[in-house]
Amino acid sequence: MLHFLSIIIPVYNEEENIAKLNEQICPVLVEFGYNYEIIYVNDGSTDDSLKILNQLADDEHIRIINFMKNYGQSAALQAGFDLACGDVIIPLDADLQNDPKDIKKMIELYDNGFDLVSGWRKGRQDNIIRVLPSKVANFIISHLTGIKLHDFGCTLKVYNAELLKKVRLYGELHRFIPVMVSIYSGGTNFAEIEVNHHKRIFGKSKYNLSRTLRVILDLCTITFLQKFADRPIQFFGGCAFILFLISLVTLILSFGAEFIYTFLVLFLVGWLFLGFAFTALLIGILAELLMRNYYEFSDKRVYKIKNII
């Protein structure tokens, strides 16, 4: 199948890597014989990355998006996705850790009719402090969301542009793009393939262990969106019910207490939990109102139609 490929590359302080990456990637794309574009997104680099990118811009296939400041990898990818003209979008890192040579086999797999082909860095070349939390995170994400992939964090993936363009990335949600694709577009026709991974030789990784907490928080958002976005009262109502039961049990226990001190503590805790239950219910009702706003004002629907026969 003939494609127009959009390669999206987020760049934050990668001055030593950009020219080498460009040298690697261009021959691979020319070899396909497809039409292609490469969009570099300079995410507020403070080194000479922009200068080097500007030198590449003479090539008619290359476009540069230059951010006002550092907005983060998700924003950089989103900007690239927004501008992409291809029918297939392929993001990859600028730090030479991904291997452009893998694109060929990924496209071949994609052509079997998949909406997404996900790169899996099976022989990942990062230290154990990076790899272990990432393995645990991938296991949890895959089990909680039902999307059976081994490597959500690998940037190198091949996406159906039409589906990807429905996705909106906030915060650091780039690690959850496959889940977002399934939430926003309903597509789950995903495949996975092993890809090469190289050690970072030049420049530094932009992340450290503190991202673990952020990934956990993002995972909460994503799981909530996936399961309850169009029915938040079911989640908050469930919480309210559990809190109400705790309150009821504590209040009943308080009346059987032998000592006045125990009675007072249980009685107060009982009322406190009743307050929590009421608050959870109110949040649920507010979330229902917000959800209606979201769907009705953006003219979105809670369902996605595959086709009408």
- The CB-of-281 to ligand UDP minimum distance in angstroms stands at 39
What pairs with residue 62 in β-bridges?
38
* Smaller CB separation from ligand UDP, 10 or 119: 10
- The CB-of-140 to ligand UDP minimum distance in angstroms stands at 18
Q: For the beta carbon of residue 60, count every other beta carbon within 10 angstroms.
A: 7
- The CB-of-38 to Mg ion minimum distance in angstroms stands at 18
Which of Mg ion, ligand UDP, none binds 196 (CB below 5-8 Å, type-dependent)? Answer: none
Q: What is the identity of the amino acid at 27?
A: P
- The CB-of-215 to ligand UDP minimum distance in angstroms stands at 11
* Smaller CB separation from Mg ion, 196 or 279: 196
Site for Mg ion in 54-93 (CB under 5 A): 93
* Smaller CB separation from Mg ion, 98 or 160: 98
* Smaller CB separation from Mg ion, 86 or 153: 153
CA angle (127, 128, 130) in 5-degree steps = 75
DSSP line for 24-72? HHHHHHHHHT-EEEEEEEE-S-SSSHHHHHHHHTTSTTEEEEE-SS---
Tell me 96's DSSP state. Answer: S
Q: Which pair of tokens denotes residue 304?
A: 């996605």
Contact between 95 and Mg ion (CB under 5 A)? yes
Contact between 99 and Mg ion (CB under 5 A)? no
Site for Mg ion in 154-213 (CB under 5 A): none
Instruction: Count Cα neighbours of 218 within 13 Å in the Cβ-side half-sphere.
Output: 21
Which of ligand UDP, Mg ion, none binds 119 (CB below 5-8 Å, type-dependent)? Answer: none
- The CB-of-21 to ligand UDP minimum distance in angstroms stands at 9
> Cα(146)–Cα(16) distance, rounded to whole angstroms?
39
From 188, 168, 169, 193, select the one nearest 178 (Cα to Cα): 188
- The CB-of-29 to ligand UDP minimum distance in angstroms stands at 18
Which of ligand UDP, Mg ion, none binds 43 (CB below 5-8 Å, type-dependent)? Answer: ligand UDP
Which runs of consecutive H residues, i.e. helices, occur in the chain?
18-32, 49-56, 73-83, 102-110, 128-145, 161-164, 177-185, 211-228, 232-255, 260-297
Q: What is the identity of the amino acid at 195?
A: V
Under the rule (CB under 6 A), what is the footprint of ligand UDP? 10-12, 14, 43, 70, 72-73, 76, 93-95, 97, 205-207
* Smaller CB separation from Mg ion, 95 or 99: 95
* Smaller CB separation from ligand UDP, 70 or 279: 70
- The CB-of-78 to ligand UDP minimum distance in angstroms stands at 11
> Cα(252)–Cα(261) distance, rounded to whole angstroms?
15
Contact between 151 and Mg ion (CB under 5 A)? no
Q: Which residues bind Mg ion (CB under 5 A)?
A: 93, 95, 97
